[in-house]
Structure 1
Amino acid sequence: MYVDVDGRYYRRGAKLELDVYVHDEKVYFMEIKSHGEIEDVEWFKEKSDIVKKIIGKEPEKLIFIAVNMDKEAVERAKQLYIDLLWNHN
């Protein structure tokens, strides 16, 4: 978790955390939710852009993992080039 104490990257005092960050020569940002809504997808993208600036590395992929997803969230993830892993039966 990163706390933006002085508001350098986001709001002053904001806590930024990716659920999973993996570094194996490549960087992947992941968000894990039980139910994905459009606001979750958009915040994940915004948060990923901020973390990218903080660590100075471009992620190979943005991956959003959820049990269920709202239709609007699925469409928004496609628009933002976020890979989805979810139960879409």
Structure 2
Amino acid sequence: MTEKLLLLVQTLRKAGIPVSLSQVVTALEAIGLVGLEQHTLRITLRAIFAKTRQEMLVFGQVFYLCFRTGLQTGEKSVPFGSVDELALKI
């Protein structure tokens, strides 16, 4: 899970959304509280990382790419290269 969160943070930063270390710590704490259900996790992380309407739209796209595989199965999501390419297009 930590790897996916770090991938999300890296891609958000590349897409122009500023993400602070304190936000990452808050996200890790929140994940422990809300669990891994995808919808709840998306809403929770969006509240932490996206402040404007535009950031919310970008967050939605990035979240989908980073978390589109099952969270509880431990499956890998898309490779770094694919997400990096999207971040450059956003």
Q: Calculate the TM-score normalised by the size of structure 2.
A: 0.28
Q: Which has the higher strand share?
A: 1
Q: Calculate the TM-score normalised by the size of structure 1.
A: 0.28
If asked which structure has higher relative contact order (CA below 8 Å, sep 6+), I would say: 2
